Amino acid sequence: MMAENGIRYRDYSVPHLVDETLREGIERTVFPISVEAKVGILKSMAAAGLRDFVVGCGPEEPLVWDRLQQAREAGELPADTRATFIILLNCWETAFAYFKAREGHAQWIAETVFSFGMITYRQKAGEFERAVEAFRSIGAVRFKASVLNNFRSGVSEQRYTEICRQIDWAASLGIEVIRINDSVGSLQPHVTQWLCSKLVKDYPQLVFCLHAHNDNGLALANTMQAIHSGFQMVEGALAGFGNRSGIAPLEQVVKLCQLNNIKLGSQELDLQGLVQAAHHCEEAFLQLPSVYRPVSGKFEMLSNYGVLNIPDFLETNDEKGYFVNYVGLHPQTIRQALENHSSAGLDVDALSDSDLWPIVDSLKSEMQTSIPYIESQYRQMMGGVMDFYRASTYTPRQLAVYAEQRIVRRRAAHG
């Protein structure tokens, strides 16, 4: 379906779907996790239909990249599984050294997308050109370039001109996939629509994706606007894991697309499989579960039972569980519970409100009495959680002290 302004809303395909959980998510979690734990996440995502994965960034040794390739060759992952590795120009030589040491795996390198970020770093010195040429020298042929942006002031004509300059620069180096980064999560959907539509019109030969951060809670909306406006690639992460408040939650994108007959990527996607993979990520990353997170929160479909339940009144017929809380207690709620679950053969229709109000009042009293204990349990639990986080993470100050001590010791040892 295409609107008069050229924006499509349903019944179309987006050929490229890229998962960033093993890059953005790993950067956000404050605890190191093993390569095998990362590969376990990778396998759960592949089982749900994902095929393209960003598996590392910058100065990190490509150990997950190694394991992806090995697992694919061993038949542990589908043969069409693909990897992207992000190369930041302020540390590209380190990444290049790692991949040059793997030059013997020519096919692995040729099939990998090398995604360059911070492309304006030392641009007068030709750093971008040097990096692209270096990776070509070891057999790399698939490239992507990120245009980093701070959109807090919107997109002026001057800003758009600079975006185009960087796109033209990347295209002149033979790069055909452009990643527009909302690097601090400040795009608003109406601006996203204008920007993405204009880029698609001005550069029909290129593939675009939007890397949308969620600082203002708009990553999902901006991602949908981007593909409605013609972008041909989606990027996201399970449960929205990513730096700061995260990036577009992939399972939420998938659900919206399925509801609107928008095909994503090359494979059929199992939404429930993605939800289970999101739960797997929470556990592997040692993250507190976001229990009411849309689509993949473990308690997301719990719904208030009784007189307050508008979705049931609207006959949505969603699969859901129920809970009863203080504000929802009412004779009609008691009556509904008895109709649905009573095993005593009560004639529920014969029960008046005056029969049921004492039960309501009694249960409310029990709930009120339990509040101090529940609050104390919560505070005790959260105190332990925060102590765990504080004790298990490194701070920049700790890093400085650690480095300083070793520098002083080394100098003392060498006179």
* Residues of the chain falling short of pLDDT 50: 1-4
- For residue range 79-134, what is the model confidence (pLDDT) as tens digits? 999 999 999 999 999 999 999 999 999 999 999 999 999 999 999 999 999 999 99
Residue 275 near residue 300, CB atoms below 8 Å: no
Residue 317, pLDDT score: 82
Alpha helix locations (H) across 139-187?
A: 157-172
Q: Domain boundaries in the chain? A: 12-284, 302-392
Cα–Cα distance for residue pair 297/21, rounded to 1 Å? 17
- For residue range 316-375, what is the model confidence (pLDDT) as tens digits? 888 888 989 888 899 999 999 999 898 888 899 899 999 999 999 999 999 999 999 999
Residue 394, pLDDT score: 86
Residue 300 near residue 51, CB atoms below 8 Å: no
Angle at 317 between CA 314 and CA 318, to 5 degrees: 110
Closest CA to 237 of 223, 248, 245, 224: 248
Residue 207 near residue 176, CB atoms below 8 Å: yes
Residue 154, pLDDT score: 85
Closest CA to 46 of 67, 62, 63: 67
Alpha helix locations (H) across 174-217?
A: 189-202
Residue 1, pLDDT score: 44
Superfamily for domain range 12-284: Aldolase class I (3.20.20.70)
Residue 5, pLDDT score: 61
